[in-house]
């Protein structure tokens, strides 16, 4: 099987590197980005028409505009049955529109954004969230496993991107929460580098916020649900610890709006009551 890869940047290059060999066709507007893979046996493409010879084509380009440009050129050039997988983080509706445009050509679009950054790409341990038909997922899951440690079918085309946007919401909101914690620690005279080491160590052990993402719904937990006891324990700890942190913030004059919001919403977010 021929595999095509378009976009050899910080994440795309190590992803493609896991597939390097005579079965891989690579393309990037920068010839120097293709050179290391060509040295390892990959075939350099002179343009997108060369990549269209592949049965599966991965796109790891910058944004919606580039995805639309590259996919728009590939779709009519590809043979029927080709799968084009979009790994870029894009608008929730972009892949759906591309799938509609590709259907008359017999080409399948898969949205398969990844999580794990350049570190995961280098290690071959990325998580990939796949939006695809059952048939298309069956075709790509083994190929994706060459550069991913977790390949999950999230639903039809578009579901992969929606999952990535939800995942990244947590990622970047947590940055704001981390900055709020740093401001409190700094005002309290705590070395921020040491605090960061503690956070990274303990989250690696506990799983961090993802450890609580156990439920299939955000609805309140019904009476008798075995998770109620666990979440009640988390609520008791969280209520105590957030109260103490808010008391310290008040004493030091540090504004902690995210902590106040989390304290107010904690019971509801744990499924223990209706949100106010």
**pLDDT tens-digit series, residues 169-190:** 999 999 999 999 999 999 999 9
Contact 132, 143 (CB under 8 A): no
Average pLDDT of the residues of the chain: 96
Q: Which residues are known to be catalytic? A: 164
The DSSP bridge pattern shows strands 108-111 and 83-86 to be parallel
Q: Quick: pLDDT tens for 212-271.
A: 898 999 999 999 999 999 999 999 999 999 999 999 999 999 999 999 999 999 999 999
pLDDT beyond 90 at 36: yes
Beta pairing class for 24-27 and 43-44: parallel
- What whole-number distance in Å separates Cα of residue 276 and Cα of residue 267? 10
Residue 236 neighbours by CB under 8 Å, 6+ apart: none
How far apart are the C-alpha atoms of 72 and 154, rounded to whole Å? 24
pLDDT in tens, 97-130: 999 999 999 999 999 999 999 999 999 999 999 9
- What pLDDT is recorded for position 275? 53
- Beta-strand relationship, 114-115 and 126-131: antiparallel
> Whats the size of the chain, residue-wise?
276
Rounded to two decimals, the pTM is 0.91
Q: How confident is the model at residue 276 (pLDDT cuts 50, 70, 90)?
A: low
pLDDT tens column, 232-242:
999 999 999 99
The structural domains of the chain, ordered by start, are: 3-163 (3.40.50.720), 214-276 (1.10.1040.10)
């Amino acid at each position: 099987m021929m595999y095509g890869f378009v976009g050899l940047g910080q994440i795309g290059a190590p992803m493609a590197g896991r597939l390097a060999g005579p079965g891989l066709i690579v393309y990037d507007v920068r010839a120097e980005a293709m050179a290391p893979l060509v040295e390892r046996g990959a075939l350099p493409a002179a343009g997108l028409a060369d990549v269209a010879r592949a049965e599966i084509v991965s796109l790891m380009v910058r944004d919606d505009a580039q995805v639309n440009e590259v996919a728009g050129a590939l779709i009519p050039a590809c043979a029927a049955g080709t799968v084009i997988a979009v790994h870029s983080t894009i608008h929730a509706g972009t892949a759906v529109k591309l799938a509609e445009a590709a259907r008359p050509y017999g080409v399948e679009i898969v949205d398969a954004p990844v999580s794990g950054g350049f570190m995961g790409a280098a290690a071959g341990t990325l998580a990939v969230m796949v939006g695809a038909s059952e048939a298309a997922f069956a075709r790509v899951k083994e190929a994706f496993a060459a550069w991913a440690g977790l390949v999950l079918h999230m639903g039809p085309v578009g579901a992969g991107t929606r999952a990535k946007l939800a995942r990244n919401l947590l990622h970047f909101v947590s940055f704001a929460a981390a900055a709020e914690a740093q401001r409190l620690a700094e005002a309290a005279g705590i070395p921020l580098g040491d605090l960061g080491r503690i956070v990274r160590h303990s989250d690696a052990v506990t799983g961090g916020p993802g450890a609580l993402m156990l439920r299939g719904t955000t609805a309140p937990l019904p009476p008798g649900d075995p998770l109620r006891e666990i979440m009640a324990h988390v609520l008791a700890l969280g209520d105590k610890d957030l109260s103490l942190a808010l008391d310290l913030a008040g004493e030091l004059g540090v504004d902690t709006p995210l902590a106040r919001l989390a304290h107010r919403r904690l019971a509801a977010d744990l499924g223990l009551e209706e949100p106010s």
